[in-house]
Amino acid sequence: MKRPCAIIGHRGARGLFPENTLEGFAAALALGIDAVELDVALTADDVVVVTHDPALNPNLTRDTHGAWLEAPTPSLRLLRAADLSAYDVGRLRPGTAYSALYPNQSPRDGACIPTLDAVLRLDRLAQFVIELKTLPGEPGRTASGPELAEAVLATADATDATPRVTVEGFDWRGPRHLHRTRPDVRLAWLTRAETVRDAATWWDGPVPADFGGSVPRAVAAEGGPVWAPDHNDLTHALVDEAHALGLQVIPWTVNDPADMRRLIGWGVDGLVTDRPDRARAIVADASAPYR
């Protein structure tokens, strides 16, 4: 039997709408996808806000006068949540390499960095994949994994969203803390080549050599249920190995149609993509009967 493949919009749907904004999440969910992925950080006053970067991103941030920010920009951990309404993140800065990556992103001028609370209240049925953006190699630059995980769960509980969230991180301290303290929360374990190579920093204890070099076995030892690898690191054999361990495999960030088709053929359980519109068409086609 063919496994269903979920479509998870990366940062909302970064290829189509401004990333990690209320406007972008609403538009992404309107595409009829299974979940949206988003990134979170803690402000100076310990509010969970939705943003990818530890400091305001000059590729997409303007001040109240409409001027593009120049690096070095303020760190999220030093700003208060109320300060964030002063910044517009609804458009990519023209002429940047970053904007060239997303030529089909339509702007939403006036969009701000939202709180997680506001995002979870946006849609009472939607599924959310929440990535804890903590940097264990740079203590103090972000909150710690357990600290951010606790704050995220407090927000999810307050908005009755906990049964609809998955919490994940490259820094395994946050998900591991929840595995111990909140077994009701669905977890995903992010990996990429750099974090596997430097597992001592990112995994805080186990290293791949403890599992014969097998990353899926390391994820299974943490309790699973989801392994979220960089799709460039994935092979058909690794998908099969993870499935044999009882894991689901949900690679990121898959934007090329040929990659989508190949991964669906390998039986992945979901795709995290900047182009959920494209993935939706391909998944629908792949699950169609022979014609």
Of 81-140, which residues contact Mg ion (CB under 5 A)?
A: 131
In the complex, the smallest distance separating the C-beta of residue 38 from Mg ion, rounded to whole angstroms, is 7
Specify the residue, 144 or 253, whose C-beta has the smaller distance to Mg ion. 253
Q: Which two tokens stand for residue 106?
A: 């339509």
Q: CB–CB of 84/117 below 8 Å?
A: no
Specify the residue, 133 or 243, whose C-beta has the smaller distance to Mg ion. 133
Rounded CA-CA distance 28/227 in Å is 23
| DSSP structure class, residue 170 | S
Cβ–Cβ contacts within 10 Å for residue 266, how many?
A: 17
Is 39 near Mg ion (CB under 5 A)? yes
With contacts defined by CB under 5 A, how many residues of the chain interact with Mg ion? 2
In the complex, the smallest distance separating the C-beta of residue 133 from Mg ion, rounded to whole angstroms, is 7
Specify the residue, 60 or 243, whose C-beta has the smaller distance to Mg ion. 60
Is 171 near Mg ion (CB under 5 A)? no
In the complex, the smallest distance separating the C-beta of residue 39 from Mg ion, rounded to whole angstroms, is 4
Length of the chain: 291
Kindly write out the interface string for residues 211-250 of this chain, putting x where it contacts Mg ion by CB under 5 A and - elsewhere.
Answer: ----------------------------------------
Work out the burial of residue 32: count CB atoms within 10 Å of its CB; fewer than 13 is exposed, 13-18 middle, 19 or more buried: exposed
Q: CB–CB of 250/267 below 8 Å?
A: no
In the complex, the smallest distance separating the C-beta of residue 37 from Mg ion, rounded to whole angstroms, is 6
Rounded CA-CA distance 25/19 in Å is 8
Q: CB–CB of 231/239 below 8 Å?
A: no
Specify the residue, 8 or 241, whose C-beta has the smaller distance to Mg ion. 8
Specify the residue, 41 or 81, whose C-beta has the smaller distance to Mg ion. 41
Question: Given the structure tokens 């403890």, which residue do they identify?
Answer: 210
In the complex, the smallest distance separating the C-beta of residue 252 from Mg ion, rounded to whole angstroms, is 7
Binding site for Mg ion (CB under 5 A): 39, 131
